[in-house]
Amino acid sequence: MPAEKLLLLGVNHKTTPLAVRERIALSGGYEQPLATVKGLPGVKECYLLSTCNRVELLLVMEPDSGVEERVVEFLFSGRVAIAEADQYLYRHYGRAAVQHLFKVAASLDSMVVGEAQILGQLKEAYRHAARNGTTGPLLNKLLHKAFSVAKRVRTETAIGSSAVSISYAAVQLAKKIFGHLRGRRVLLIGAGEMAELAAEHLVGQGVDEVVVANRTLARAVALARRFSGRAVSMEELVAQLQHVDIVISSTGSPDLVLRRDEVKSVMRRRMNSPLFFIDIAVPRDLDPELITLDNVYLYDIDDLTSVVEINKSERDREAVKAGRIVEEETLKFMNWYGGVAVTPTIQALKRKLDDIASQELERTLAKMPGLGEAERQQLARMTDAMVAKILHDPLMYLKSESCAGRDRSDAKITLVREVFGLGSDDHEA
């Protein structure tokens, strides 16, 4: 009696270096990858999360369908040798998949523990999956639960109060280079959420001017207006380097936005005044060879690790509380999940015993035509009581918390169906 299985697989900043992450980053949007994965034989539901620090797929799949290897090939094929995939890839099944998702939503698995951005990214990814019809009853329930877990963690702990985002970490790194940011000019390449967060932190640190460059000029204008800055086109990008001190790049471009030779020519006109680059895009926006230029400082996402140690002790204390909440909510979900699997068998068992009791009662009453209505009702009540007592122990066995968990539920269901001759009909969540 096969049942669907829950699988989460992916790569993140903990398991995979930036050089590999940027080769498998899905920069073309969610629609095509979701359609491809959903179309794989054996995939019943799927959800995709792609951020600068992780690419994860959450699947409801048929067992023994070969889905896993096909998904791994989808993620890595043509980008990273399949033989190397296992050294970067993590796979979580059932309870472990649920727990990992809840940890991600609660920002316990982020580079910056407690940052709030990941929840928005999860919700945005879910909107894409729902709009494309790739999620179903199980993943819809699970993802909404993940959102509520994140909200509970934010409400019941102070994990967010001492947290820093990647954008804030970038700003802190700039302060280490320049001492302070008052009077500095900043160029943001890209007008997305990461750029907006960076601008908020920069303005808070007293920067003199914010310049925004974006492929869609209207978006650059809108962001620049928020911070009393100015917008420029991407064609003006190199020229702008002559007048700024800090460049933070966070576009979704699959190609480099700035190359070494372009910056080298600008440095001559700057009289070698220091220029500080922070690349928070995946794939990288900025040529890694920039670091070879004099008075050019270049940092990427992986370099931000040391900065995120800010407030680490406080975050770690709150993370313990958050971890307890995640564990508690994981247990609740798995009990629900196991119960969903058990329900069809409970219903089938009740139907079978009720049918047997009804047939035997009718047969007995047919042989006793002289019984009055009161006696007939008494026999019916006695039959119902016998069925209820026979059902009691098997139902308690199926519902018992000591056997909670999807895998153990599957084993229980198989045993009960065999013992009571219920056949091997599939059950679904």
- pLDDT tens track for 170-208: 777 888 888 888 899 999 999 887 778 888 888 888 899
Residue type, 116: A
| Cα–Cα distances in angstroms (integers) from residue 95 to residues 6, 286, 328, 329, in the given order | 8, 40, 12, 11
CB atoms within 10 A of CB 180: 11
Which band of pLDDT confidence, cut at 50, 70 and 90, is reported for residue 309? low
User: Residue written as tokens 């920002």?
Assistant: 107
| Residue 146 to residue 57: CA distance in whole angstroms | 15
In this model, does residue 164 exceed pLDDT 70? no
| Residue 339 to residue 346: CA distance in whole angstroms | 10
| Residue 403 to residue 409: CA distance in whole angstroms | 7
In this model, does residue 406 exceed pLDDT 70? no
Fold assignment, 5-162+317-333: Beta Polymerase; domain 2 (3.30.460)
3-state secondary structure of 212: strand
Q: What is the pLDDT of residue 35?
A: 93
pTM above 0.85, yes or no: no
| Cα–Cα distances in angstroms (integers) from residue 46 to residues 25, 36, 42, 103, 127, in the given order | 18, 10, 11, 19, 13
Closest CA to 242 of 211, 215, 283, 273: 273
Phi-psi sector, 253: left (phi>0), alpha (psi -120 to 50), beta: beta
Give 180-309's CATH code, choosing from 3.30.1300.10, 3.40.50.300, 3.40.50.720, 3.30.43.10.
3.40.50.720
What number is the average pLDDT over the span 317-344? 86
CB atoms within 10 A of CB 213: 25
Residue type, 149: V
Q: What is the DSSP letter of 232?
A: E
3-state secondary structure of 372: coil
Q: What is the pLDDT of residue 61?
A: 92
| Residue 18 to residue 279: CA distance in whole angstroms | 11
**Matching CATH topology for 5-162+317-333 and 180-309?**
no
What number is the average pLDDT over the span 377-382? 90
CB atoms within 10 A of CB 220: 25
Of all residues in the chain, the percent with pLDDT exceeding 90 is 43
| Residue 426 to residue 341: CA distance in whole angstroms | 10
Q: What is the pLDDT of residue 67?
A: 87
Q: What is the pLDDT of residue 429?
A: 39
Q: What is the DSSP letter of 115?
A: -
Which residues are identified as catalytic? Answer: 52
What number is the average pLDDT over the span 312-319? 79
Handedness of CA 315, 204, 199, 242 (dihedral sign): negative
Residue type, 62: E
* Helix pair 406-420, 94-105: axis angle to 10 deg: 150
State phi, psi for 130 to the nearest 5 degrees: -65, -40
What residue ranges do the domains of the chain occupy? 5-162+317-333, 180-309, 335-420
